Structure 1
Amino acid sequence: MIAAPIATSDKCHRCGSKLAYEGRPCHLCLSPAGFELSDGRVEKVEGVERASTVRLPKFAQPKLIRGKNIRKPRGQRAIEVAKTIGRWTWNSIGIAVVVHALALVIALFFGEHVRDVVDYVQRVDVREEIAAAPVAAEQPDEIEVPDFEPLDDEMIMPDQVIEDPDILAGDPEYEAPPEHDVYAPLPQVAPPNPAPPSHNPFRRPDAGKGLGGGQPSSATNPPAGSGLFRNRNGESKAAAIQSHGGGSDTENAVNLGLAYLARTQDHNGSWDPNDGYRGRRPNWATSDNGYRGALTALCTLPFLAAGNSPDSGPYKKNVERAINWLMSQQTSDGCVAYKNATQMYTHTVATLALCEAYGMSGDEEIGNSAERAVRFLERTQGNGGGWDYNGYITGTGSGIERNDLSISGWGALAFKSAKAVGIKVNEKNWKSLSDLYDRHSLTNGETYYADRATGSISGTRKGIGMVGVGLTSRTVLDSERFEKRNYAAERLLLKKLPSWKDLKEPNESSENPNFNSFYGWYYGTLGVFLLNEGRGPAWEQWNDAIKKELLANQDLKGSRKGAWEAVDTWIGPLMGDFYSTALSVLCLEVYYRYNTVHRPDSETGPVTERRARPQPRNLPEVERDEPEHPVNGVVIDGVELDLDKAGHRSKYLRLLSRRDGLNSLPTLIKHLSDESTSVRSTALMEIGKLKATDAVSKVKAMLDDPDDQAIKLTVIDTLGTIGERSVYPSLVRLLSDPENSVQVAAQSALRKLANGKDFGINKRAWEDWFSRNP
């Protein structure tokens, strides 16, 4: 047999339509265009032919049957009906079997309650059958109402309002409650009452040099790390907001952002990165694309910063679910991460979240998990002092050591929080990390991305994003050691203030991407805040810029109300709106997230003792050494300070100025020549607060001193705060300074001298006004 194409006509032999290609089935009726011939007769048709029962469109019907109703013979139709009945019979039996099997499974699942229900129904039936006819009771003269005492915890009166902002967490239709107060409700963190584990009867070692330095406390004392986190709740939160430049606008934005993150949280406590994309997901975004762990830890931090913990706060359920999910991901070696390309990014951020959650709650289970995570960080730290994308001891690391300073920035924050809540960090690990930033931080304030290339990305790649990472890490690790480079980094950041427009600039290449990102904004905000302790002209300039951009670009309606769109072209496409929203909220929580005076070189408060755990009788008591008094120590307002430390000298000047007022001026003027830039900056700000006109000449001379260029903005601000108008020529001259930050500081100082008058950078207008108003 052979296949013979129809070549005698270009029309379909069945419907008469023109064929698009010879030898192909008809595109209308699918009639085949080829036949198998046997002895000159058509034996078999090749191709897919329409069934004869299918009614074609009228224009596609053959001429002989067009418009006619062609039916099969009655006998064939009867046979088809019989077959249909048979199929339905067998199908019905199959459906019945499936239904009974499903009922059996349900009965087995609820088996322990089935017998009770059956017995109860039978008893009710029997009682109904034997029950006598009801007899009408006599109507009493007065209706006696029993005096029931209602239970307060079981009654809900109509005028009561139940508010639980995270009860519908994960529901995409959930809307945050309306804001009425000037500030968001300030939740109080309840004192913890942890049950001590039996396997560890000893107390953790003292971490006297950590931020906050406090040991985890008992139920009658403040929570662990309360020194570092004390501004997250209560009146101190409101005071910190007002003192450091926040307001009701920033808190309202924070509330909206937290509500968005709460309602997009999965029921298991994590955040799915794929839910954060707008519109169509990227082609590579499959499963959780490896970022679920890192993103979950990142989204947990804003809730903790707002004063929520696993056992207190309006979002305590969200925090509890998130922390439980992170702990469920922790393996026996302490790692809280998938062993994939983002392992150490996930683990460092997760360690930070666990340490803060422990500090907010004092829960021992969280504390043990956090300590194991810190130990994993210590073991996986490279000889160069940092971490790469993979941990070395897990078998997932590369053969050649690489130290990534971006990942190591999260490691520095994790170490810092661990020490703050009483988890000991090996000093060798701390110093090794500090040395890493010493080697790869330039004198102009820039920080290298890594000490070794990865793929096509050079290790010496640097940009404005890494400037903030380096500034924050160096301030946390050793602010006095890196003082000059930190102030240089601050000047770089002030030259590149946050701009929403800059986020959308395209990436040129992997070697030179658009470093303007939410990631860079987060580290820049935290670094400038910690360096200046949330005050001064440099912080004011940065804070004004970050507030302006974030408040103007938050989504205020729709399903993503409260979110910030991840418009940055470098990291945004990888992480989505959850990443941009979490970091934006953290930027607006910076005013109270950390207590500014609790830094490694300025910790002076007493160490809060942990509650003594019940110890076995055969174990000796743990003895603590008496603290040593500093050689160059001084006690002021009950606080012992070591004046050999720059941080302690700064605190001494603040306490002295508050106690003695203008009588402290000689000491403040003396410290304007201190070797530490931060101490000179503190002395300037205290002189400005006192409006000490006797110090004007000394302060004015610092404008041209090369050693004081790092704090030039503070010098300018102090001249304006003192209020002596004779210095206006020096300030007017600075309106032509090539650095925009200096021009802005000079304008601000002139406005203070002119009681609010503002002539911008118009020198002649300023000079004319001051000549008429000496």
Structure 2
Amino acid sequence: MKKRRAAAAARALAAGAFLMILPAGARAETPQTEDEKYRRAIDAAVDAGLEYLARVQLPDGSFPGMPMCNAVAALSVMAFLAKGHTPGHPPYGDNINRAIDFVLSTQQPDGTLIGPGGGQMYSHNIACLMLSEVSGMVDAARQERIRTVLSRALQVTLAAQKVQKPEAHRGGWRYAPNSGDSDLSHSGWAMMALRSARNAGMPVPREAVDDAVAFIKRCACPDGGFAYQPGGGSGLARAGVGLLCLELSGEHRSEMAARTAAYILQRIRQGWGGEIFYYGSYYCAQGMFQYGGREWEECAPLIYDTLLKLQAPDGSWNPMPGSPHEDGPGPAYRTAVAILALGVTYQQLPIYQR
């Protein structure tokens, strides 16, 4: 954590020094990016959302909507971290620690991180991702527990990838550790968890990440979108998954990434919703931000405007009409994911740093 804080401080000092040497006129004439234009509104929305999450957190560290679901707790921790809040430090340090402890408590005898609320490999890999991201930010006792729990959990993820599968599905994941096929959605979370764990110093074979990327590429469609499974039809949310995974795996602005960015921008221009709106917003925002350039500048206000309008007076996020699958997880889930989408430019979570 000291290294991460030092790096953040160095970036801030460098930025400040740069501004000091610029003539006043040059600073005033610099055109604002779309992110800068929305910064005040996004900051206010994110702060209200975090206040909501802190207010509704249950005594055991979980969140309402899907009681005992560790994925919602893990996403909420990442939402707090995204704004620069850290474990053990006010104003939300206690909330973060309680959510971390809850996620740690959900490890099963076989190593899976699946709470009584279910969620199968979704919950498992989202929990792995959060624990990898928060590693190094916590006190010594929690750090030791995170390393122990995460080490066992990663073995489950790696073993699930090695289950015998058809060639087209090799390298991916699905609902259960012993699934004999793979899908893009589960594989996206798993790949990010492995990459984050590797960045945190956990023993993750490079081959595992490479095989995951190869599977994700097999889900690419000719129109630039991505399919749920190889050979299927394309979709916007899945395109976001594909683009983010490409960008995080060394495929920055590659030919495949360029096709996908163009696909996402075209679909979002047309207006979007669908049954997994918040999930799609999260992935499209993260993927397009990583891709950057003109495409992100054009996409950003479309995502920001839509999400900002959906925030409720209590700080939570309302359901998107036509998105029934996200009613079940509840407002805490929607709020955490909306914050991660809106806070994409904060660059606080290591996994999402450019």
Cα 1:596–1:340 shift into 2, 3 Å: closer
1:579 and 2:333 correspond: yes
1:611 equivalent in structure 2: none
2:28 equivalent in structure 1: none
1:263 and 2:88 correspond: no
Any conservation in 2 of the 1:412–1:476 contact (CA below 8 Å)?
no
1:553 equivalent in structure 2: 310
Question: CA RMSD of the aligned region, Å?
Answer: 3.0
SS at match of 1:589: helix
Cα 1:405–1:266 shift into 2, 3 Å: same
2:27 equivalent in structure 1: none
Higher RCO (CA-CA < 8 Å; seq separation 6+)? 2
Q: Which amino acid is the alignment partner of residue 268 of structure 1?
A: D
Cα 1:376–1:470 shift into 2, 3 Å: same
After TM superposition, list the pairs within 5 Å mapping 1:151-300 onto structure 2.
221-223=2-4, 230=8, 244-245=35-36, 246-273=38-65, 288=67, 292-300=69-77
1:526 and 2:286 correspond: yes
Deviation of the 1:260 alpha carbon: 0.5
Normalised to the residue count of structure 2, the TM-score between the two structures is 0.82
Deviation of the 1:438 alpha carbon: 2.0
SS at match of 2:3: coil
- Per-residue CA distance 1:505-551 (angstroms, 9 max, x = gap): xxxxxxxxx3561111110000011122xxx2211111111221222
Q: Which amino acid is the alignment partner of residue 49 of structure 2?
A: G
1:369 equivalent in structure 2: 149
Cα 1:351–1:595 shift into 2, 3 Å: closer
Deviation of the 1:565 alpha carbon: 0.6
Deviation of the 1:431 alpha carbon: 1.4
2:260 equivalent in structure 1: 489
Identity in percent: 29
Cα 1:300–1:236 shift into 2, 3 Å: farther
d(CA) in 2 for partners of 1:345 and 1:361? 24
1:466 equivalent in structure 2: 238
1:131 equivalent in structure 2: none
d(CA) in 1 for partners of 2:79 and 2:316? 13
1:79 equivalent in structure 2: none
SS at match of 2:227: coil
Deviation of the 1:371 alpha carbon: 2.7
Any conservation in 2 of the 1:529–1:590 contact (CA below 8 Å)?
yes
Deviation of the 1:483 alpha carbon: 1.1
d(CA) in 2 for partners of 1:308 and 1:570? 31
d(CA) in 2 for partners of 1:588 and 1:359? 25
1:34 equivalent in structure 2: none
Q: Which amino acid is the alignment partner of residue 315 of structure 2?
A: G
d(CA) in 2 for partners of 1:231 and 1:494? 34
Deviation of the 1:425 alpha carbon: 1.2
Deviation of the 1:428 alpha carbon: 1.8
Any conservation in 2 of the 1:471–1:527 contact (CA below 8 Å)?
yes
1:379 and 2:152 correspond: no
SS at match of 2:203: coil
1:438 and 2:224 correspond: no
Cα 1:322–1:373 shift into 2, 3 Å: same
Query: Aligned to 1:318, which of 61, 80, 95?
Result: 95
- Per-residue CA distance 1:12-69 (angstroms, 9 max, x = gap): xxxxxxxxxxxxxxxxxxxxxxxxxxxxxxxxxxxxxxxxxxxxxxxxxxxxxxxxxx
1:475 and 2:265 correspond: no
SS at match of 1:418: helix
Cα 1:328–1:424 shift into 2, 3 Å: same
Cα 1:331–1:502 shift into 2, 3 Å: same
Cα 1:497–1:351 shift into 2, 3 Å: same
1:542 and 2:305 correspond: no
d(CA) in 1 for partners of 2:199 and 2:59? 31
d(CA) in 2 for partners of 1:333 and 1:525? 35
Q: List alignment gaps of at least 5 residues for structure 1.
A: 1-190, 192-220, 275-287, 452-458, 504-513, 600-774
Query: Aligned to 1:564, which of 294, 308, 317?
Result: 317
Any conservation in 2 of the 1:463–1:515 contact (CA below 8 Å)?
no
SS at match of 2:226: coil
SS at match of 1:317: helix
Normalized per residue, the structure richer in helix is: 2
Q: List alignment gaps of at least 5 residues for structure 2.
A: 19-31, 165-169
Cα 1:267–1:339 shift into 2, 3 Å: closer
